């Protein structure tokens, strides 16, 4: 494969402020050179592009992805979309994963899926059968009999075994996690508390600490990780102490939680875009509770961000009214609603997301040796974060050095319209 030599790049590397007039070289699936001078060793077969000052940034990562969710609605009850036959849910997942990639998300970390659909889709993507992002495959929801979601219709009848893995007792939790890993899950989803869109009050965990500890131990022993639906302070503190890897939602977060999570390198996926939109659509006591939790989160998130808590993008897309394909709007949302600086939100989407996905630093930033997942964007997302909410601004999407989208113009077209500063193929 010829090298890809990109010059006149505005480099947004996933961590630092943009740098202009940079040169980035990609060879096979990785970046091999990033600098501010022309390539030192030009090769006759180099594929060279002058980006005309366009922004090059890492592919974004979605940190809480439900590939199967489709018009899923808790507030409007049945049908919720998860009662559909497995093949139908799989077809939806294939479509959504492709949408994610074409929205600039080159990686997704699942927050749960039925019928081992994530693991199947991941295998199909990795073998080239279908187009999609890098996937960390999720499990069914694991929790106890009668937990806050256990009254929902999709947990009954046939759906019960599809969507949830009910366990009672430490041994049962251990077994449930082993079953999920056997089915291909790399990320175990535990429903650990109520709140954040689920019904019923829940002071603390919906399981014993012994049960949760058994789940975490079983997952880690098999090389899987654990993410937990958590929406109260005590639940967060207990889960972090026990060793969960990712806190989902995190309603009830306070300074003690932030400190504990940073100390143990636990990620937070605040996912408050769903409650933000849902509380504008629906009303009732549960919605009021959701709104109060969300407002607390809006207050604490800038503090958590400043303290250095690693957060990522990601939310319950596919749950009404949050549509698949609008993932990139989340960046402007956190800037506008929670006052997070644009560069920090970009870091959530790239560096931290990459770290969460890959469990290493080889994804999510642009530097020599890193995996070449990147976007070429019209304009400067730091100056206008909303650019990333419209995939039409993405002129190129590249995953592992392979072009998923490449809409750059050839030199003759560029010459006729210098005003547009079209990217130019140099030779």
Residue closer to Zn ion (CB basis): 289 or 316: 316
Query: For residue 123, what are the contacts with CB-CB under 8 A and spacing of at least 6?
Result: 184
| Least gap, CB of 315 to Zn ion (angstroms) | 8
Residue closer to Zn ion (CB basis): 111 or 332: 111
Residue closer to Zn ion (CB basis): 269 or 394: 269
Q: How far apart are CA 184 and CA 195, in angstroms?
A: 28
Please, what is the angle between helix 273-281 and helix 329-338, to 10°?
A: 80
| Least gap, CB of 248 to Zn ion (angstroms) | 6
Q: How far apart are CA 186 and CA 122, in angstroms?
A: 11
Whether the CA torsion 398, 402, 404, 408 is positive or negative: it is: positive
Residue closer to Zn ion (CB basis): 316 or 378: 316
For residues 236 and 257, the answer to whether their CB atoms sit within 8 Å is yes
Residue closer to Zn ion (CB basis): 66 or 351: 66
Cα–Cα separations (whole angstroms), residue 412 to 47, 52, 406? 17, 14, 17
Token duo for residue 11: 């480099």
| Least gap, CB of 111 to Zn ion (angstroms) | 4
Which candidate, 237, 345, 251, 236, places its Cα nearest to that of 298?
251
| Least gap, CB of 28 to Zn ion (angstroms) | 35
Which candidate, 174, 195, 208, places its Cα nearest to that of 253?
195
Residue closer to Zn ion (CB basis): 302 or 321: 321
Which candidate, 386, 408, 412, 427, places its Cα nearest to that of 53?
408
| Least gap, CB of 64 to Zn ion (angstroms) | 6
Q: How far apart are CA 68 and CA 103, in angstroms?
A: 17
| Least gap, CB of 170 to Zn ion (angstroms) | 25
Residue closer to Zn ion (CB basis): 150 or 316: 316
For residues 256 and 268, the answer to whether their CB atoms sit within 8 Å is no
Residue closer to Zn ion (CB basis): 293 or 316: 316
Q: Which residue ranges make up the site for Zn ion (CB under 5 A)?
A: 111, 316
| Least gap, CB of 332 to Zn ion (angstroms) | 21
| Least gap, CB of 394 to Zn ion (angstroms) | 25
Residue closer to Zn ion (CB basis): 316 or 355: 316
| Least gap, CB of 138 to Zn ion (angstroms) | 9
| Least gap, CB of 200 to Zn ion (angstroms) | 17
Residue closer to Zn ion (CB basis): 275 or 364: 275
Q: How far apart are CA 48 and CA 324, in angstroms?
A: 34
Please, what is the angle between helix 329-338 and helix 285-307, to 10°?
A: 90
| Least gap, CB of 168 to Zn ion (angstroms) | 23
Residue closer to Zn ion (CB basis): 211 or 316: 316
């Amino acid at each position: 494969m010829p090298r890809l030599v990109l010059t006149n790049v505005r480099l947004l590397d996933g961590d630092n402020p943009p740098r202009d007039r940079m040169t980035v070289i990609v060879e096979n699936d990785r970046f091999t050179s990033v600098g501010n001078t022309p390539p030192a060793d030009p090769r006759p077969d180099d594929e060279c592009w002058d980006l005309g000052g366009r922004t090059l940034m890492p592919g974004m990562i979605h940190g809480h992805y439900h590939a199967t969710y489709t018009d899923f609605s808790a507030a409007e009850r049945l049908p919720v979309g998860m009662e559909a036959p497995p093949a139908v849910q799989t077809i939806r997942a294939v479509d959504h994963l492709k949408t994610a990639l074409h929205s600039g998300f080159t990686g997704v970390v699942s927050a749960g899926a039925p019928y081992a659909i994530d693991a199947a889709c991941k295998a199909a993507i990795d073998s080239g059968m279908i187009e999609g992002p890098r996937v960390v495959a999720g499990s069914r929801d694991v929790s106890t009999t009668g937990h806050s979601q256990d009254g929902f219709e999709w947990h009954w009848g046939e759906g019960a075994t599809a969507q949830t893995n009910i366990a009672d007792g430490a041994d049962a939790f251990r077994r449930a996690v082993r079953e999920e890993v056997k089915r291909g899950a790399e990320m175990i989803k535990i429903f650990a508390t109520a709140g954040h869109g689920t019904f019923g009050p829940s002071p603390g965990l919906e399981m014993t600490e012994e049960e949760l500890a058994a789940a975490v131990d079983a997952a880690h022993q098999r090389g899987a990780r654990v993410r937990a639906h958590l929406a109260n302070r005590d639940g967060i503190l207990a889960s972090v102490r026990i060793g969960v890897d990712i806190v989902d939602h995190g309603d009830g977060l306070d300074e003690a939680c932030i400190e504990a999570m940073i100390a143990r390198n636990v990620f937070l996926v605040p996912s408050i875009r769903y409650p933000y939109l849902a509380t504008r659509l629906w009303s009732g006591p549960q919605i009021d509770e959701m709104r109060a939790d969300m407002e607390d989160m809006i207050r604490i998130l800038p503090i958590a961000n400043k303290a250095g808590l690693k957060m990522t993008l990601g939310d319950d897309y596919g749950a009404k009214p949050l549509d698949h394909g609008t993932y990139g709007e989340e960046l402007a949302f956190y800037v506008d609603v929670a006052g997070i600086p644009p560069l920090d939100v970009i870091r959530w989407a790239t560096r931290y997301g990459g770290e969460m996905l890959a469990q290493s630093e080889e994804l999510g930033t642009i530097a020599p040796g890193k995996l070449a997942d990147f976007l070429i964007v019209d304009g400067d997302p730091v100056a206008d974060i909303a650019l990333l909410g419209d995939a039409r601004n993405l002129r190129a999407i590249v995953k592992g050095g392979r072009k998923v989208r490449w809409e750059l113009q050839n030199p003759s077209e560029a010459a006729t319209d210098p005003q547009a500063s079209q990217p130019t193929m140099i030779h």
